[in-house]
Structure 1
Amino acid sequence: MEKSVIFRDRQELQAADLNNTQAWGDEARRHLVTDALTSERQFTGLTVSARSATELEIAVGRLYDGPTGKVYALDAAQVHSVFAMLPLQDQKWVAVSVFGVEEDTDIQPRDMLIDLQTREVEPEAVAMQRRRVATVHIAQGLESPTPERPEPPTGYTLIAHVRLSPTGVQEVVLAEGRRLPNLQRVDARVRTAEGWILAAEPRIAHIMSDIAGLASDLATRASLEHVSQLGVDMAKLKERMEIPDDYVFYGSDHFLDADESDPAHAGYSADTFEGIRPAIAAQQTGALSLLNPMDPEARTSAAGLMLPAYEEVTRLRMETRAGELAINQYQYQTLNAVQKTLSRERVRTGETLTYCTNSAFWKSGVYDPVTGILRRGDEVWTVDPADQARANIDHQFLRVTRMWVDRWEEPYWDMVTTNYVVQGSVLAQTVLMAQTGWLISVEIFVTSADAAGGLTVLVTEAALGQPDMEKVLSRATLAPGAVTAGWLKVALPDPLLVEAGKRYAVALVTGAGHRVGFTEGTEYTQGILMYTQDGAYFTQAAERDLMLRLNFARFVSPRAVVQMQPLQLAGGVQELDMLYDSAVPAGCRLVWEYQTGGLWRPVTPDTAPAFGGAALVPLRAVFIGTQDLMPAVRPGNAQVTVRRRGTTFVHVSSDRVLGTPSKNIRVRLLLEDFGTDVAQTVDCRLIVGGVTVAATTNRDEVVDGRSRWREFRFTLAANTGAYRIRIDGAGVTGAHPWHVAERYDLAL
């Protein structure tokens, strides 16, 4: 208290002294309200609710008048009738507000001294209490089909808007913005915000470094002048090839596949994948599997997708029920659905996997990199010609010496799909995902269930704002009797990776009489509730959302290590080739590690392979990400191959048929990592009419430190209309690997 009255023994006490004890205390409290709590007019309590169709009830509460610091109270709940305010035909809004008044109450008879000497008194009725009372006021708006909300009079504090119709109260909207915050709740919110800031600040601060890195990368990008110079260099290269004007045949092979090879030839012994390499001497293929099926570091879904250990948390909640819908009130129809599958990644490492420059032809559009590289087992599938361009864009590959990675950028692809038919009425909710994560399950509020019917739940892409049945990402089917009233949790067969900024749809398909709840407003999902009619989608209501919960994975640790079954190959492992379904979101990594010599060695571009000829090699997967996002892999249908290669190769081409017979043939081979070691040898011969013909002369042309062209010239005894090319190589070892990258031949 800023001021106080001083009392002393045997001192005269006047009424002003007693009044000052109250007035000065009240003044200090008013300063506290104005200085520390609020400088505006705010309230606590005073909740407005509809007691009946024509009555409003205002709960007890207090009005804090910030400009004066006074506090006015409503000590008992009040009921106000709005019967006389009801509109005749349309609707209207009324504004419920409060204002403060001071009133003297508690009238009591008290003796008043009228004669000091005779001490004569006279009774008088006086007020003994002064109260600050919060008084309720209701202001009416204009009746209209689209009424406007009225404002309270100047100096009054709004506590609620109430929408009226001819039948009574329709809606009460509380003025939460005028409510005085509670310090304890504010403290809890601040603590939560500080915790988030503590966790997010390092990531946000790192954005500056990322931006700087992007700027640095952009500075190194090729300019138009560089591209023009490349065109000039390409013209020079064509001229340098020295193709004579009188040639009658010209051919080439980049050895990306066996289209121009003859593996059926008796002497053939080679592999053609990004160059000619020695054939496989020993090989073993199997699947991935956990070393310990009960490994606490891993969690495998019902359909076999493996993620690091996680718990489920709800990220999106739409729980306020505003009504219900019967799914089968809409048209029963038959839909053809196409379910996409998790895309693939291939990792290859080994001593003899030298980098080949012709791998760039995977991006040339001439070859199909997806079919050639990401095919598994005896699958027969091709990329649609309309998708060839996307295949060249989405397929990303890394080629460094002894480490090759092929990855499909999209987490789900339509190269391998599952077609099926769904029948029933369709009710769908679209959702704009605000955060990337693994969707584990979907919860739907069922107000009443039909025990005789099942339910199919589909999660689809919704790029155009409506479900796309040709891009189904997940499907869960509940049998009759499995659908129960209340919050129905539908676990997806596999956790589903959804990406921030993309739209998805949750579609309910059934012919049964299930009824589901809906909420009002779409601010959380930024989507709409839709149904199908004759194969087209229509909006059920612009301001409705399905009552929905989306449960995501929250991982126990941002790094997890999962032990897998070891690799085995009698005689020793030289190469590892892994092809598996996976999804590695941005900012995450899936790293494979193997153990030799007591050390765990990662399969990464900067780590050279060191199998050391071991016949049994322990293997593990390292998942790196965040507690919200991690990579995933499907071990069950993975194709894991360990192999060992020979040190020599013999490659025989398919028939080269000439339009005009010739006897002067030239063959140019691009040799990469070919050294001067006497054990490294290469020879080229022609097979003409079953007879092998040696080259007349040959010459070398060094291109750079690891590449050279070797040209073989043949002068035959007579003209020929066809020939084959045989290439023999030796000395291909783990210590000195080399390969034939390209071959050009021409007939003069």
Structure 2
Amino acid sequence: MGERTVVISDDQQITNTDLNNIGTFARSSLDHVVKDGINPERKFTGFQVVASGPAQVTVGAGRLYDDGGVYFRDDDGGVVVDLLSLLPVSVEKIVSIVTWAQTIETALEPRTFIVDVDTEETEARTVATESRRYANINTVSGVEAADPTPPAVNANVLVIAHVRLSPAGIVSITDVTENRLQSVRDVGLGVKALEVWRERSGARLDVLDTAVAGLQASVAHVPSPEFTREIARDVSRLKELAELPDTYTYYSADRYLTDEESDTGNINFLARVEEGIHFADAAKQVAQLALLNSLDASVKVQNNFMLPAYTEVMRDKIVGNDGEISLAQYQYQTISTKLKSFSRTRIRYGITKTVCTNGAWWRSGTYDPVTNIFRRNGETWSVAIADVPLTTINHKWIRVTQFFTDTYNENYWEATATEQAVSGAFVAETFLNSEPGYVTAVGLYFTRKALTGDVVVMITETENGAPVYEKAIARVTFAAADLKAYPTVTKIPLPPTYLEKGKRYAIAIATAGNHFLAVVNGNKNTQGTLFHSVDGAWSQGDLTKDIAYSLYYASFKAPRAEVQLQPLQLAGGIADIDFNFDSCQPDGTEIAFEVQISGVWKAIKAYTDTNLLIGLPPMLPLRVVLLGTTDVMPGIGLGVNSQAVTTRPRPDFKHISTVRELPAPCDTIEVNARLEYWDATHHGCTIKILTGASFDVVETADAVVDVATPDPNAIIRRATFNIAVPVSEYKIQIEGTTDNVLVTYHVAERYDLAFS
């Protein structure tokens, strides 16, 4: 077989060269077949890489093809590669499993050699009897980084797989499929699939010439490129005129989503800026949401957070006493922890809740809807401008006449987080929460306890499987005197803390006392890891043991709860209601408020047939309806964590802008104000300019024009001012009136232009 063969004649003396050529010629011919007919590049088959330990992989048998040569590796049980010495210190790295070709002489065996032909004397020698093409297996380590990349490898090696490592061990294994040799059978199947596709699509492709000819005939009637470019220029100019930013000195616009361009400190300022300019409040009352009956048995209130009545059930536990760990053995440190709070819902209802078209700008990412919608007076707010796109994504809202609702989709947020420095040794046990629910207590098992050293227990979120102490969602301190000795469980109550399904959390424990915790061996907590804090920012995992613990969850008595709250009140009558409350609304649950009208409970919701506040009632009985399941229910904050604001508007407003500064004096100023829900029979609006050193000179408009819009209930009022003495500074004053406080409008936007 092959290109050349060894010919041996009868009675011929055979040399070792003849015998060696039998194998050499066959090998050479096979090399040519592989190189010329299959693939001359460096490829591999087999070599399956699997994790065989926390920091160990096993590479199965396989073959390496290199320039036609076939090299193999078939160790019994595969090649074991220990990665323990390559684990990163703090973040992650990628280690590549590589192979390269080597020809070695192997299979040393004893053979007899003649040393004297005449006497036929022989001697035994140990020699190589086999030439083997060998595939070496080794590793190439990458650089440790937060987002690691595969390492650079030498040109003569081939990468089989990439192993991503963390300080705790193997994170993932990724085969390098582009280096794997594709068999002739796989190529044949691909060709067959292409033939099938050609049969199906060929007829369609064959008529493309006709279709293209038809398109060319149609394009002949399309306007020229120059004409299209002219239209694009005009549209661009219109966009500039409609939305010029304030950095264009002679132009300015305000959408009134915030009061940044409103002179709220002016003694004459009398307006409410809330998604437009609205009529100021004639009367306002701020009350905390509270139970009508503080002993209501249908609910439980902890830390000013109310849930329907529930019982505790143990849902998750890792119990045993295979050993113990001393908490004092770990590094004593002080960590600044941050306790996240429940996020919020805001519901607004009433006659002044007219939908402002500029509300859509919350989605633009230019504005921070969370700070401007959910904030309550006196709070320290920590939403950074960099977080604005994220808050926009997580913010869900509805805007219809008489009803606004805003919900933050995350159950916990950091906007009003409480910081606290905690000192001691820190350990944590992570776990995977398989079902949603409220955890109400953590059970720990102390084998030995010290006389002093209170224990801080937290439930924290995790990143990359490790606890994050700056993202705690529950935090309590438990007195050392109340700790129980094993086998009695130390049950540590928590405020009801909602845990999402399929998310990993950590039970974090911090103490300065020399307490001992029971641990279990054998990875009994298959979905968790024991960690101890090294420097406050990074935690070291221990894969050999886990803390024994139990988790208690709330089991609700009914899927619906109707809870009566303190009534809403406002002397002179209520025209608007504004609920701003802490909330937890898991998927599939609902929170709804109802007021009692003429003895009938009616829901405060969108698309009601009539306004519930017609007649301006001075007091309204109030209740909240909580809907869910016996496993998961929504909850709301009470007391200082939530408020209800009742208001009634004035029949007039006066809005004054901040100073408009021009680069050079101008004598003509044009102000455009978009008035929405405008009714000329009830409403009035006057635009003025304030000039002078103290802005006490009032300029009235020389011309006022109302421009119709596609919305029949909206107009653009354009006021033009011809100033006798050119000015470089001015303020804009917009005044509004209504003859009925139950019929209001708002100013959605102002755009002004100064020129000479």
Q: Same fold (TM over 0.5)?
A: yes
Report the counterpart of residue 330 of structure 2 in structure 1: 330
Per the TM alignment, residue 251 of structure 1 is displaced from its structure 2 partner at its CA by 0.9
- The whole-number CA distance in structure 1 between the counterparts of 2:308 and 2:718 is 54
Report the counterpart of residue 722 of structure 2 in structure 1: 715
Larger mean CA deviation between 313-322 and 487-496 belongs to: 487-496
- The whole-number CA distance in structure 2 between the counterparts of 1:266 and 1:457 is 51
Per the TM alignment, residue 644 of structure 1 is displaced from its structure 2 partner at its CA by 0.8
Paired letter, 1:507 = A
Report the counterpart of residue 614 of structure 1 in structure 2: 617
Larger mean CA deviation between 252-261 and 630-639 belongs to: 252-261
1:744 to 711, 732, 751: 751
Q: Deviations over 1:569-598 (max 9, x none)?
A: 111111111212111111111111111222
Q: Deviations over 1:360-400 (max 9, x none)?
A: 22233332222222221222434223323322222332222
Report the counterpart of residue 623 of structure 1 in structure 2: 626
Report the counterpart of residue 415 of structure 2 in structure 1: 415
- The whole-number CA distance in structure 2 between the counterparts of 1:445 and 1:732 is 71
Paired letter, 2:533 = T
Query: In 1, are the aligned partners of 2:395 and 2:406 still within 8 Å (CA)?
Result: yes
1:310-389 aligned within 5 A = 310-389=310-389
Q: Does 1:662 align with 2:662?
A: no
Query: In 2, are the aligned partners of 1:463 and 1:502 still within 8 Å (CA)?
Result: no
Query: In 2, are the aligned partners of 1:558 and 1:624 still within 8 Å (CA)?
Result: yes
Per the TM alignment, residue 522 of structure 1 is displaced from its structure 2 partner at its CA by 4.1
Per the TM alignment, residue 672 of structure 1 is displaced from its structure 2 partner at its CA by 0.6
Paired letter, 1:660 = A
- The whole-number CA distance in structure 1 between the counterparts of 2:447 and 2:524 is 23
Per the TM alignment, residue 523 of structure 1 is displaced from its structure 2 partner at its CA by 6.1
Report the counterpart of residue 540 of structure 1 in structure 2: 542
Give the TM-score, by structure 2 length: 0.64
Paired letter, 2:738 = G
Paired letter, 1:396 = K
Paired residue secondary structure (2:360): helix
| Cα 1:523–1:405 shift into 2, 3 Å | farther
Report the counterpart of residue 101 of structure 2 in structure 1: none
Report the counterpart of residue 641 of structure 1 in structure 2: 645
Query: In 1, are the aligned partners of 2:691 and 2:729 still within 8 Å (CA)?
Result: yes
Gaps of at least 5 residues in structure 1 are 1-230
Report the counterpart of residue 683 of structure 2 in structure 1: 680
Query: In 2, are the aligned partners of 1:559 and 1:623 still within 8 Å (CA)?
Result: yes
Report the counterpart of residue 427 of structure 1 in structure 2: 427
Paired residue secondary structure (1:471): strand
| Cα 1:241–1:394 shift into 2, 3 Å | closer
2:700 to 694, 703, 711: 694
- The whole-number CA distance in structure 2 between the counterparts of 1:304 and 1:467 is 27
Paired residue secondary structure (1:260): coil
Report the counterpart of residue 577 of structure 2 in structure 1: 576
Per the TM alignment, residue 327 of structure 1 is displaced from its structure 2 partner at its CA by 2.3
- The whole-number CA distance in structure 2 between the counterparts of 1:649 and 1:381 is 29
- The whole-number CA distance in structure 1 between the counterparts of 2:524 and 2:483 is 29
Paired residue secondary structure (1:495): strand
Larger mean CA deviation between 267-276 and 528-537 belongs to: 528-537
- The whole-number CA distance in structure 2 between the counterparts of 1:467 and 1:394 is 23
- The whole-number CA distance in structure 2 between the counterparts of 1:613 and 1:308 is 32
Query: In 2, are the aligned partners of 1:395 and 1:407 still within 8 Å (CA)?
Result: yes
Indicate the RMSD between aligned Cα atoms, in angstroms. Answer: 2.5
Query: In 1, are the aligned partners of 2:343 and 2:410 still within 8 Å (CA)?
Result: yes
| Cα 1:537–1:658 shift into 2, 3 Å | closer
Per the TM alignment, residue 547 of structure 1 is displaced from its structure 2 partner at its CA by 1.6
Gaps of at least 5 residues in structure 2 are 1-231
| Cα 1:277–1:234 shift into 2, 3 Å | farther
- The whole-number CA distance in structure 1 between the counterparts of 2:557 and 2:619 is 31
- The whole-number CA distance in structure 1 between the counterparts of 2:567 and 2:501 is 37
Q: Deviations over 1:273-298 (max 9, x none)?
A: 11111111011112111111111111
1:584-595 aligned within 5 A = 584-595=585-596
Report the counterpart of residue 402 of structure 1 in structure 2: 402
Q: Deviations over 1:684-731 (max 9, x none)?
A: 122233332322222222222322212112223332222222222112
Report the counterpart of residue 472 of structure 2 in structure 1: 472
Paired residue secondary structure (1:675): coil
Paired letter, 1:631 = P
Per the TM alignment, residue 264 of structure 1 is displaced from its structure 2 partner at its CA by 4.2
Per the TM alignment, residue 605 of structure 1 is displaced from its structure 2 partner at its CA by 1.8
| Cα 1:336–1:241 shift into 2, 3 Å | closer
| Cα 1:234–1:461 shift into 2, 3 Å | farther
Query: In 1, are the aligned partners of 2:446 and 2:490 still within 8 Å (CA)?
Result: no
Give the TM-score, by structure 1 length: 0.65
Q: Deviations over 1:468-490 (max 9, x none)?
A: 11111111211121101134343
Per the TM alignment, residue 639 of structure 1 is displaced from its structure 2 partner at its CA by 2.3
- The whole-number CA distance in structure 2 between the counterparts of 1:242 and 1:550 is 55
Per the TM alignment, residue 663 of structure 1 is displaced from its structure 2 partner at its CA by 1.6
Query: In 2, are the aligned partners of 1:451 and 1:483 still within 8 Å (CA)?
Result: no
Paired residue secondary structure (2:445): strand
Per the TM alignment, residue 527 of structure 1 is displaced from its structure 2 partner at its CA by 0.8
Larger mean CA deviation between 577-586 and 608-617 belongs to: 608-617
1:529-568 aligned within 5 A = 529-535=530-536, 536-542=538-544, 544-568=545-569
Larger mean CA deviation between 433-442 and 686-695 belongs to: 686-695
Per the TM alignment, residue 737 of structure 1 is displaced from its structure 2 partner at its CA by 2.4
Per the TM alignment, residue 733 of structure 1 is displaced from its structure 2 partner at its CA by 4.0
| Cα 1:695–1:487 shift into 2, 3 Å | same
Q: Deviations over 1:627-669 (max 9, x none)?
A: 1111111102112211111122122222222222222211111
1:180-579 aligned within 5 A = 235=236, 237-238=238-239, 241=242, 249-301=250-302, 303-485=303-485, 486-522=487-523, 526-535=527-536, 536-542=538-544, 544-579=545-580
| Cα 1:240–1:601 shift into 2, 3 Å | same
Per the TM alignment, residue 234 of structure 1 is displaced from its structure 2 partner at its CA by 6.7
Paired letter, 2:690 = I
State how many pairs are aligned: 514
Query: In 1, are the aligned partners of 2:379 and 2:416 still within 8 Å (CA)?
Result: no
Paired residue secondary structure (2:390): helix
Per the TM alignment, residue 560 of structure 1 is displaced from its structure 2 partner at its CA by 0.3
Paired residue secondary structure (2:239): helix
- The whole-number CA distance in structure 1 between the counterparts of 2:523 and 2:646 is 53
Query: In 2, are the aligned partners of 1:327 and 1:427 still within 8 Å (CA)?
Result: yes
- The whole-number CA distance in structure 1 between the counterparts of 2:315 and 2:741 is 51
Paired residue secondary structure (2:252): strand
| Cα 1:235–1:624 shift into 2, 3 Å | farther
1:70-149 aligned within 5 A = none
Paired letter, 1:512 = G
Paired letter, 1:296 = A
- The whole-number CA distance in structure 2 between the counterparts of 1:252 and 1:286 is 36
Query: In 1, are the aligned partners of 2:350 and 2:576 still within 8 Å (CA)?
Result: yes
Query: In 2, are the aligned partners of 1:444 and 1:487 still within 8 Å (CA)?
Result: no
Paired residue secondary structure (2:482): coil
| Cα 1:468–1:575 shift into 2, 3 Å | same
Larger mean CA deviation between 268-277 and 692-701 belongs to: 692-701
- The whole-number CA distance in structure 1 between the counterparts of 2:233 and 2:628 is 45
Q: Deviations over 1:519-553 (max 9, x none)?
A: 344465511122234444223333x3322211111
Paired letter, 2:651 = T
